[in-house]
Structure 1
Amino acid sequence: MSRNPMQKQKLLYLRRIMLEKTDENHGLTSSEILAELAAYGIQAERKSLYDDLQVLEKFGMDICKTKSSTVKYYVGSRDFELPELKLLVDAIQSSKFITEKKSFSLIHKLEGLASVYEGKELQRQVVISNRAKTMNERIYYLVDNIQNAIATDRKISFRYYRWELDYSGMEKIVKREKVKVGGYVASPWSLCWDDENYYLIAYDSSLNSIKHYRVDKMDKIRMLDEPRDGGKTFEKFDLAGYSKGVFSMFGGTKTNVRLSVDNDCVGVIADRFGKDIYVTKESDSTFSVSVDVMTSKQFYAWVFGLGGKVRIISPQNVVDEFKKQLENVNESF
């Protein structure tokens, strides 16, 4: 009698059963494991099952068993523990650059790294419908194109979009100033995830400056034959420092600004600029700090949103611009 060809796959199916059907709180008896194997068309004896479990253990699986009247076997630890998977689910859900469709797909794949019982806990955690998500389903391929250009030291060309309002609603259009010249050309150097969005940090040779672009607003990325520019500029480039100063990646003029801050906002300053900045005591209730920021409308909105607990001291042109922004808001009511 010829041997059942499924026997050659027994260890593979046993591994799947243990990973899918067991965890620290859910074990299987030897009889239950044999029944699970039989459902795949694999017949096995108890003795051979014990040997197979030992093989999996020697291979690196954490095969454990309960110490009670009924012996049950389960996988004790995995590459990702449940709290780690929950953390990844939260990150996917809160990421605006990941579309709703892709979010469900990624979370479903994460469920496969847990047992069916722990996977249900991840499902209960999924609440995406009310989150703001990008509508660009191609963002993952765009990121891959950018990373390939970085790895091969090539420039890229691309189209860049913005939203406009027409009578039928919002419409995504290509920025007009670049349409006639075939789109933007830049030297990609880094990708940055900031304020729940993905950004390309690149060098613009025409302006001799560092620029940033929202990846979900990019399209038609094409790798060029030209090598990247800006190597010397990026040799000492501090990506973390750049992100701290750019405030949600909106443009503006980089300026060293001195702020007067109430003591109870020290955590706000640390969260925004990091813990390595130098602070000076002003009084028993305030301190001052000098930081490099992009003096955009978003920066002024951030200061205003802190309700007077953060005040701009210098330079004077930034103080005057902030006052002007406040006057403009006041006149709109």
Structure 2
Amino acid sequence: MGENNQKIKLLRIMEFLRSESEAGKPVSTNQIINYLKGHNISCERRTLYKDMELLIESGANIVKTELGRENAYYIDEVSLSLAELKILIDAVQATNFITDVKTAELVEKLLAFSGIRRSEIVRDNIVLYNNHKHSNGDIYDNIEQIELAIRQKKQVSFYYFDLDEKKNRVYRKEKKRYITDPVALVFSEDNYYLVAYSQKYQNAVNYRVDRMDTVEVEDTPICEEAQIKKRKTESYTEQVFKMYNGEVEEVTLEFPPELLGAVYDKFGEKTIIRHSDADRLKIKVTVQISPPFFGWLFQFMGKMRILEPPSVLEKYNKCIRDTLE
């Protein structure tokens, strides 16, 4: 057998093992030989033993075992469980900022990574339900450029746009480039955002990645303030409540036990819960005082109350009064 044919044979063996074998489900020598025959590659049992030893000695994660009286093999690689694969695919489909085309491509890649058996099981149970996908096909390029800028601690620039009633792009600032100091990429409420530091406002600014066009890494390094924020990325991005800017306040909220699930969903299961009185609970949380925060409170129709500070309660009441006028 020529060198090229030998390489093709080894690749086909690895292809078969990756798609059909796993721990607890090895493939036999005969199965491998029959698979090769199906691809017009002849292989004797004795030759296959040598091929398998060569692959193992070369570092392939192949485990040799027995299936009945035959030698058998499987790939011992970290792979996704059915549950993990299903969760990832559903997450991709539910995400708005990934276009329909990119969603289909990414789902196929996940299925291919999981092997034929698992992919067939999951494929039969895929439910297509998100009809609100966005249309920016450059989303991957945008993310890659922003990630590069963050790693290199360089400024990033881009055009920023909205959509009009005909879904045409309307560029802000008369299509002048935005230049900002990137800190982190944050996924929130079905969208992907760039959290950056504004030297002009000396505060956080946020941009939707799917509303960016022609993202480029600049030569200028990010400022010292942005580097400080970058080193404290987790606490900095936590302050960006619902992607709105606002004053950061420690707020005490009081609510009935029936809203405990909503509190954990919003602020996390590590939130410290205290008793306020016999039938009510309270928490202290740090949030940005913003319309989304007030909107979150309002949905509970008075069951979630602001206890402290009085200034935040007054702002909330004013927001309600302004809405009713």
Give the TM-score category using the shorter length: 0.7 to 0.9
Residues 87-126 of structure 1 mapped to structure 2, 5 A cutoff:
87-126=87-126
CA distance in 1, matches of 2:263, 2:237: 14
CA distance in 2, matches of 1:198, 1:142: 11
- Residues 299 and 3 of structure 1: is their aligned pair in 2 closer, same or farther, counting only changes over 3 Å? closer
Counterpart in the other structure of 2:11? 12
| Residues 245 and 273 in structure 1, CA contact (< 8 A), matched pair in contact too | no
Kindly state the Cα deviation for residue 22 of structure 1 after the two structures are TM-superposed: 3.6
CA distance in 2, matches of 1:279, 1:34: 63
1:321 has 2:315 as partner: yes
Counterpart in the other structure of 2:80? 81
The secondary structure found in structure 2 opposite 1:318 is: helix
| Residues 243 and 249 in structure 1, CA contact (< 8 A), matched pair in contact too | no
1:268 has 2:268 as partner: no
C-alpha distance after superposition, 1:205-248 (max 9, x if no partner): 11122212111111122332322114366258643344444332
- Residues 232 and 36 of structure 1: is their aligned pair in 2 closer, same or farther, counting only changes over 3 Å? closer
Counterpart in the other structure of 1:304? 298
- Residues 104 and 72 of structure 1: is their aligned pair in 2 closer, same or farther, counting only changes over 3 Å? farther
Counterpart in the other structure of 2:174? 179
| Residues 160 and 183 in structure 1, CA contact (< 8 A), matched pair in contact too | yes
- Residues 191 and 329 of structure 1: is their aligned pair in 2 closer, same or farther, counting only changes over 3 Å? same
| Residues 157 and 186 in structure 1, CA contact (< 8 A), matched pair in contact too | yes
| Residues 197 and 226 in structure 2, CA contact (< 8 A), matched pair in contact too | no
Look up the equivalent residue of 2:123 and give its one-letter code: Q
| Residues 160 and 174 in structure 1, CA contact (< 8 A), matched pair in contact too | yes
TM-score normalised by structure 1 residue count: 0.83
Counterpart in the other structure of 2:202? 208
| Residues 204 and 245 in structure 2, CA contact (< 8 A), matched pair in contact too | no
Kindly state the Cα deviation for residue 108 of structure 1 after the two structures are TM-superposed: 1.0
Counterpart in the other structure of 1:294? 288
Counterpart in the other structure of 1:139? 139
Unaligned runs of 5+ in 1: none
Residues 245-260 of structure 1 mapped to structure 2, 5 A cutoff:
245-260=239-254
- Residues 53 and 110 of structure 1: is their aligned pair in 2 closer, same or farther, counting only changes over 3 Å? same
| Residues 187 and 230 in structure 1, CA contact (< 8 A), matched pair in contact too | no
| Residues 187 and 203 in structure 1, CA contact (< 8 A), matched pair in contact too | yes
| Residues 30 and 72 in structure 1, CA contact (< 8 A), matched pair in contact too | yes
C-alpha distance after superposition, 1:135-161 (max 9, x if no partner): 111011011111222222221222222
- Residues 195 and 186 of structure 1: is their aligned pair in 2 closer, same or farther, counting only changes over 3 Å? same
The secondary structure found in structure 2 opposite 1:112 is: helix
Kindly state the Cα deviation for residue 330 of structure 1 after the two structures are TM-superposed: 4.9
C-alpha distance after superposition, 1:19-45 (max 9, x if no partner): 223446866443332122123332211
| Residues 181 and 226 in structure 2, CA contact (< 8 A), matched pair in contact too | no
Task: Figure out how many residues of one structure are paired with residues of the other and give that number.
Answer: 323
| Residues 97 and 198 in structure 1, CA contact (< 8 A), matched pair in contact too | yes
- Residues 29 and 156 of structure 1: is their aligned pair in 2 closer, same or farther, counting only changes over 3 Å? closer
- Residues 227 and 239 of structure 1: is their aligned pair in 2 closer, same or farther, counting only changes over 3 Å? closer
C-alpha distance after superposition, 1:256-298 (max 9, x if no partner): 3221122343343233223555554311222322322222221
Look up the equivalent residue of 1:172 and give its one-letter code: R
CA distance in 1, matches of 2:227, 2:219: 21
The secondary structure found in structure 2 opposite 1:179 is: helix
- Residues 128 and 252 of structure 1: is their aligned pair in 2 closer, same or farther, counting only changes over 3 Å? farther
Look up the equivalent residue of 2:316 and give its one-letter code: F
- Residues 306 and 131 of structure 1: is their aligned pair in 2 closer, same or farther, counting only changes over 3 Å? farther
CA distance in 2, matches of 1:244, 1:225: 29
- Residues 193 and 151 of structure 1: is their aligned pair in 2 closer, same or farther, counting only changes over 3 Å? same
| Residues 256 and 291 in structure 1, CA contact (< 8 A), matched pair in contact too | yes
CA distance in 1, matches of 2:222, 2:2: 61
| Residues 96 and 134 in structure 1, CA contact (< 8 A), matched pair in contact too | yes
Q: Which moved more, 1:227-236 or 1:256-265?
A: 227-236
C-alpha distance after superposition, 1:156-204 (max 9, x if no partner): 2222222343xxx4443122xx227x23221112212223321111111
CA distance in 2, matches of 1:44, 1:246: 62
TM-score normalised by structure 2 residue count: 0.85
The secondary structure found in structure 1 opposite 2:243 is: coil
Q: Which moved more, 1:218-227 or 1:297-306?
A: 218-227
RMSD: 2.9
Identity of aligned residues (%): 27
Counterpart in the other structure of 1:50? 49
1:152 has 2:161 as partner: no
